[in-house]
Amino acid sequence: MSALDLTGTILGFLLTCMVLSYIFGDNPLFRFSIHLFIGAAAGFAGAVALRNVIFPNLIVPVFNLVGGDFSIPALLSLVPVILSLLMLAKLSSRLGPVGNVSMAFLVGVGAAVAIGGAVTGTLFPQTEAAMNQFDLTTLQGSDPADAFLDLIGRVISIVGTVATLIYFHFSTRQGDRQSGTNAQRSGWIESIALVGRIFIAVTFGVVFAGVYIAALTALIDRLNALIEYVFSILGFFGLA
């Protein structure tokens, strides 16, 4: 191990101990390590954005225009340039409204991408998966016991999907103010909604267990890294 590798090992050991010091509560060592991590991550993200986005898509086209390239792609590159300049106007309280055009464009595109991703990446696949539960042709030719278990799983999946959707059905019968009765859903909707609530609770429990296992795995990995750091340092000085 070289002196440079030893320095990196010691820094990794110290930073890991600083992060794990949060076990004893918030302290300056933990805050320093978190600020260092956020600063390094922000610097790296800024460098990547500058090199892969701003420089090739903004700076280079502008230089091409200055050099006499008036092609359609070069002219279209003026759009992000203008929007970026308008965005800088938000730094001034007096010129701030000028940047609303860029903010509106940014928020609109961001919302469209988020909604489109949710619909095509989550809603449609889940709907298709729920519909495929009714396709019993896939059970043909399989072992009867496996087919029976698969059928039970499909029934549970369909019941859970329908009950969970009905749980979010908020249409109610109008209440009577004179008798003091509040608006309430129909009895059969409440019964099915109770089943949906159970499925939601089980889902949240599984998600929480997954997050807990992931955190525990990360903790074990860091503790193992600490042990490796110690042995590496001891090995460098010939003590292990």
Q: Is the residue at 20 inside a domain?
A: no
- For residue 158, tell me if it sits in a domain: yes
Q: What does the alpha-carbon distance between residue 233 and residue 240 come to, in Å, rounded to a whole number? A: 9
Asked if residue 231 belongs to a domain, the reply is yes
pLDDT score of 176: 46
For residue 210, tell me if it sits in a domain: yes
Question: Distance between CA atoms of 8 and 21, rounded to whole angstroms?
Answer: 20
pLDDT tens digits for range 20-38 = 888 888 899 999 999 999 9
Residue 41 lies inside a defined structural domain of this protein: no
- Whole-Å CA distances, 185 to 164, 173, 188, 190, 201: 15, 6, 8, 6, 21
pLDDT tens per residue across span 110-140: 999 999 998 998 888 888 888 888 777 777 7
- Dihedral of alpha carbons 106, 107, 113, 117, sign: positive
Q: State residue 83's pLDDT score.
A: 86
Distance of CA 238 to the CA centre of its chain: 45
Which positions of the chain have pLDDT values less than 70? 1, 171-184, 240
Question: Is 45 inside any structural domain?
Answer: no
Residues 127, 105: contact at Cβ < 8 Å?
Answer: no
Instruction: Say what the pLDDT of residue 35 is.
Output: 94
Q: Which two tokens stand for residue 226?
A: 């600490």
Residue 64 inside a domain? The answer is no
Residue with tokens 């600490």: 226
- What is the DSSP code string of 110-174? HHHHHHHHHIIIIIHHHHHHHHHTT-GGGGTTS-HHHHHHHHHHHHHHHHHHHHHHHHT----BP
Domain of 240, in residue numbers: 133-172+183-240
**Total domains present in the chain:** 1
Residue 233 falls within a domain, yes or no? yes
pTM: 0.60
